Structure 1
Amino acid sequence: MNQRLSGSRLANVGAKTISTAYATLHAQHQAITERARHRFDTQDWAGLQADTAERLGLYRRIVDLVEAAVRDLLGDRVEDKIIWASMKAVYSGLIADRDDWELAETFFNSATRRIFTTVGVDHHMEFVATDFETPPTRPRAPVYRVYNRAATTVDLIAAILRDFSFATPYRHADQDAGLIAGRITAQLEKLGALQTIDRVEMIRAPFFRGMGAYLVGRLFSGSHRIPLALALLHSPEGIVVDAVLLDENSVSILFSFAHSYFHVEVDRVYDLVHFLKSMLPRKRTGELYISLGYHKHGKTELYRDLLDHLASTTDKFEIARGQRGMVMLVFTMPGYDMVFKVIKDHFNYPKDSTRKEVMGKYDLVYRHDRAGRLVDAQAFEYLEFGRDLFSDELLAILAADCGQSVCITEESVVIAHAYFQRRVIPLDIYVREARDHAAHLAVCDYGQAIKDMASCNIFPGDMLLKNFGVTRHGRVVFYDYDELCLLEECNFRRLPPRDRYEEELAAEPWFHVNPNDIFPEEFPNFLGLSGALRAAFEDCHADLYTADYWREQQAALRAGRHAHIFPYQSEQRLYQDIYSL
């Protein structure tokens, strides 16, 4: 049939096909997201986990369908770039009335790259920059509600809580309002602000993730604009406001790149992202889109951010600081806080994984609850850079170790597959260079990071300090996934007793060891901690050395007991003793 249609007609039909597919994606994404409130109301934590997994797989499923439809429509003209350029122009007109035009543009790019496997970018067939310098539509309503000055701060907060009601009532709404007001008053005093609040702007919909819900906004007092986030938990006695976050760093951690994506109902994601950006100016726009569950467009924004940086710097890509990896080559740019990770052609002994297995680990992290401890890794394909952007040392190592993924010519460097991650300070470097108190805090948080991952069914595998990093907020995160596995797959054992003195001296185990056997009693020998740092770690987390601890975590997972990872400090909680998840 496509032979009987003109190129312009094919472009029109193709554009409408992709536009219809995007509308389907949007509707299904929204339907899944809207379930989150009911999941929170009914404490259906397993249901929310299932929704999260379903939503993560939705984009790929719809792109698969649209690729098949477009191939069927265009037939042997499927790679006709003139048709695709026309299709892009028609599509741009079709989405001009949408409130989510930027997401729709990214969807078109996804379809295009499926067909062409484009190296670099093609401005004729892709939305490298958006077609709309300003939003093509106007919001039907602000993304936030305004609460003007009330008689007291308690009254103001009480009004907010009344508007954000749930099927389950608040346990003690009046008490919560009083405690929140007290925290706000203390923060205003700390900042030297006025004693009164002029107004509060709260995003209209709660943010749901894991076992928590969050009300997010900003308050104004004189010349001060202060972030405001209320963390809600569904306790056995009702909804409680568990914590109040009143500074940029705390709210930034809430939207951290190490947390899973939020479920939040919103008509115009663009407005929500720009509202959040006003509170979190150091957050990349792409990271905010990703945190809200729009990871594909987040990748688009991250790429645009990288292009903007490359256009304004004379720096070169170079090997990232830290111990060289056995599986990944990691490089970065001095003035840019992101890293690229490329899988090596051959892995150093004793690593015995395959490229496919390593990619499977990264996909597992993408689909899994990251517990605030696993760094988000976005996969990019067929990136093209000028050769002059790379240091000579990096070019030599890429050529020697990554020939399957990297093609280097006289003019360019093409990377067939790479992961893009936020750069952090490797923990082994941090504890060596930080002040003693900060290093002690870091090794204690290192142990907590291992426990947080365990509670979400993740065992890091290689727990050496070099595989963990410290964020700018001082939180310890994990970023090396090639030996990561599900906790439930591990067999934690105690070391069998030695029968003879010779066994004490033997270099090899004196008992049979299966591939998934793990002996926590041996952890002290290879974590890489010694002296005061080891003592600090063991004061906090000596139980990690016992098989019983790990078996208890496995039993909790088998029993369906869900653990809540608190994205804030214990001192930020309002109720230290009444409720714990």
Structure 2
Amino acid sequence: MEPNKIEFTAEIIENSFAHYMELFNEITRKAPVFFKKKDWTGMQIQHKKRLRLYKDHISEATGLIEGIVEGMDGDFDFWIQTKKTYQQKIKSRRDKELAETYFNSIIRKIYPGLAINEALMFVHEGYNSCPLYSNTNLYHEYPSQWGLQKILRSIMADFDFDIPYLNKEEDIQLLVRSVREVILSRYKATEDTVTQVIKSVFYRNKAAYLVGRTRVGDKWMPFIIPFLNGPNGVYVDTLIFDPKIMAHLFSFTRSYFMVEVEIPSQMVAFLNSVITHKQVHELYNAIGFNKHGKTEFYRDFINHLALSKDKFVIAEGIKGMVMTVFTLPSYNIVFKMIKDYFEPPKTMTRQEVKEKYKMVSLHDRVGRMADTHEFEEFHIPLDRISEELMKELKNDVNSQLDFTEKELIIRHVYTERRMVPLNLYLETCTLEDAKTAVEEYGYAILQLAKANIFPGDMMTKNFGVTRQKRVVFYDYDEIEFLTEMNFREKPIPETFEQIYASEPWYEIKPNDVFPEDFKRWMIGRQDVKEHFLAYHKDLFDPEYWTKLQQQIKKGEFIHAFPYPSELRFRPEEEA
């Protein structure tokens, strides 16, 4: 084994990662400019560009390394030494956990069938092994002695968007009122009371968010302040204290934020203290480091396996024609595998299904589509798989299975947050909850449409209900861009032959959609069906869908608010 090859390989990976982070940060730093110019399309383009960076850099670095390691298949000692050399090179980096994941990605790319190997890869290091940095310059701090007015004025001064305000003084007084109503009505400020706001602004779509916390009543009270840039200037849209709403802002159903991050582990630690409903891997995802989020998820998964004893089982719900879905009851995740054969009328290929999932990963999910992680060579202990599940796996996805004496190795699988299928939820929930759920169901479809997504198969079995009773779409094999669909009214029959025809007597093209047909099958529960039809009557109007298409084709970006409209300080027409 040649030492210079080890050094050179480690250097290639180090330089590739450094260049990736340089470009990642360069793109992220453009977000304030897009917000200032109200260039929402540009913001989305840069977001997609940033998502593609990782794969492109991994491929380029792998190409260079393959020439070095040619003929060294199975020489794991080389990679053990390369890992040690690389570890020394990155030890002083403040994003070293991301650099570790990058190394893992390289070696998995070079050896596609390689299992997770602690000697060759960084398996248990990650977030928990990151050093604690003092004086990280992460946040602004405002002591209680300043008084509420001065604190809020200072916050507004510290976050100057270089844009004229709609009415800064009114914004300050609206914030003062909210703080008094929510916090000071319950707690009294003391000498120990302090407010901290992360210096980096969180940008996504048309909004900019400040994330902070106030130490009061011997605990941290988190808050988020959303800003919008409207026709008449920038303004504070609301002040959010509700932990559930804050969790939704960082939800697995939302696109990642564009936010400058100097030390990822410190940012995640702060967010973890503020948004306690979220796990570490979800927070890494939210700030744009989804590849490391995947690593942290896997670490959480193997730790959970070690601490639990239940078995993997078939997921509840109607079995799909394209995907086999299973879960571990004690773990809030489902595992989705593409079937070997699709039942009629499904005609797509495995690659086409993968392309749909990739499309979702790059698109704005507007809080209505679940994020996924894609894994290859995923290992599960054989003694943790139920007999019923094993039978289904061998029947439906056998080509994707390999076995060792103790493990099942899945060649390709998606992981996704587990939700209650909407059709099952509607079977058992109260009338009040059912009304809320069908309203949410309609909103999910319409908000996806405004983001240029047509779900295709809109049956309730393809939607899930989250813990916050929010309805989310999770079946992607038939999604299309809304602008590619043709919404039509059904022709009126004019003859007896047409009236009594056993099949449609008019031509139907592949992308034709007849919204009036939705009424027949969308909701099966009779005591809420009429409520749904009246509440979401736009769903059944072809003209409504066509107008949405025209807006999108004109380049209009329709903002989906991630918090209830009643929380907003001003009506839309005043902003």
Identify the residue that residue 387 of structure 1 maps to in structure 2. 382
The answer to whether residue 168 in structure 2 is matched with residue 185 in structure 1 is: no
**Correspondence list, 1:133-532, <5 A:** 134-136=129-131, 138=133, 141-188=136-183, 192-194=186-188, 198-532=193-527
Identify the residue that residue 538 of structure 1 maps to in structure 2. 533
Give 1:69 shift. Answer: 0.7
Given that 1:106 and 1:297 are in contact with CA atoms closer than 8 Å, whether structure 2 keeps it comes out as: yes
The answer to whether residue 551 in structure 2 is matched with residue 556 in structure 1 is: yes
The answer to whether residue 114 in structure 2 is matched with residue 129 in structure 1 is: no
The whole-number CA distance in structure 2 between the counterparts of 1:410 and 1:78 is 24
Give 1:172 shift. Answer: 1.3
The whole-number CA distance in structure 1 between the counterparts of 2:123 and 2:103 is 11
Q: Secondary structure at the match of 2:398?
A: coil
Change (3 A) 1:51 1:133: closer
Q: How many residues align?
A: 574
The whole-number CA distance in structure 2 between the counterparts of 1:163 and 1:261 is 24
The whole-number CA distance in structure 2 between the counterparts of 1:388 and 1:99 is 40
Given that 1:493 and 1:517 are in contact with CA atoms closer than 8 Å, whether structure 2 keeps it comes out as: yes
Alignment-mate amino acid for residue 193 of structure 1? Y
Give 1:432 shift. Answer: 1.8
Give 1:126 shift. Answer: 0.7
The answer to whether residue 75 in structure 2 is matched with residue 76 in structure 1 is: no
Given that 2:426 and 2:525 are in contact with CA atoms closer than 8 Å, whether structure 1 keeps it comes out as: no
Q: Secondary structure at the match of 1:93?
A: helix
Give 1:506 shift. Answer: 2.9
Identify the residue that residue 22 of structure 2 maps to in structure 1. 27
Q: Secondary structure at the match of 1:480?
A: coil
The whole-number CA distance in structure 1 between the counterparts of 2:252 and 2:499 is 45
Q: Tell me the C-alpha RMSD between the 2 structures.
A: 1.7
Give 1:539 shift. Answer: 2.5
Alignment-mate amino acid for residue 64 of structure 1? S
Per-residue Cα deviation, 1:289-342 (whole angstroms, up to 9, x for no partner):
011110100000000000010000011110111111111111111111111001
List alignment gaps of at least 5 residues for structure 1.
Answer: 1-5
Alignment-mate amino acid for residue 49 of structure 2? E
Alignment-mate amino acid for residue 84 of structure 1? W
Given that 1:193 and 1:224 are in contact with CA atoms closer than 8 Å, whether structure 2 keeps it comes out as: no
| TM-score normalized by the length of structure 2 | 0.97
Identify the residue that residue 37 of structure 1 maps to in structure 2. 32
Per-residue Cα deviation, 1:514-565 (whole angstroms, up to 9, x for no partner):
1111111111112133433222222221111011011001100110011111
Identity across matched positions, percent: 37
The whole-number CA distance in structure 1 between the counterparts of 2:138 and 2:478 is 42
Per-residue Cα deviation, 1:224-252 (whole angstroms, up to 9, x for no partner):
32110001100111111112110211110
Q: Secondary structure at the match of 2:102?
A: helix
Change (3 A) 1:131 1:10: farther
Alignment-mate amino acid for residue 220 of structure 1? R
Per-residue Cα deviation, 1:105-158 (whole angstroms, up to 9, x for no partner):
000000000011244311111101117864347355231111111454233212
The answer to whether residue 58 in structure 2 is matched with residue 63 in structure 1 is: yes
Give 1:579 shift. Answer: 5.0
Identify the residue that residue 80 of structure 2 maps to in structure 1. 85
Identify the residue that residue 3 of structure 1 maps to in structure 2. none
Change (3 A) 1:119 1:134: closer
Given that 1:399 and 1:408 are in contact with CA atoms closer than 8 Å, whether structure 2 keeps it comes out as: no
The whole-number CA distance in structure 2 between the counterparts of 1:453 and 1:494 is 21
Given that 1:468 and 1:479 are in contact with CA atoms closer than 8 Å, whether structure 2 keeps it comes out as: yes
The whole-number CA distance in structure 2 between the counterparts of 1:140 and 1:102 is 20
Q: Secondary structure at the match of 2:509?
A: coil
Q: Which moved more, 1:404-413 or 1:234-243?
A: 404-413
The whole-number CA distance in structure 2 between the counterparts of 1:341 and 1:133 is 29
Q: Which moved more, 1:502-511 or 1:136-145?
A: 136-145
Per-residue Cα deviation, 1:22-65 (whole angstroms, up to 9, x for no partner):
00000000000000011001111111111011001100000010
Given that 2:80 and 2:120 are in contact with CA atoms closer than 8 Å, whether structure 1 keeps it comes out as: yes
Change (3 A) 1:260 1:133: closer
Give 1:78 shift. Answer: 5.7
The whole-number CA distance in structure 1 between the counterparts of 2:92 and 2:73 is 27
List alignment gaps of at least 5 residues for structure 2.
Answer: none
Given that 2:141 and 2:196 are in contact with CA atoms closer than 8 Å, whether structure 1 keeps it comes out as: yes
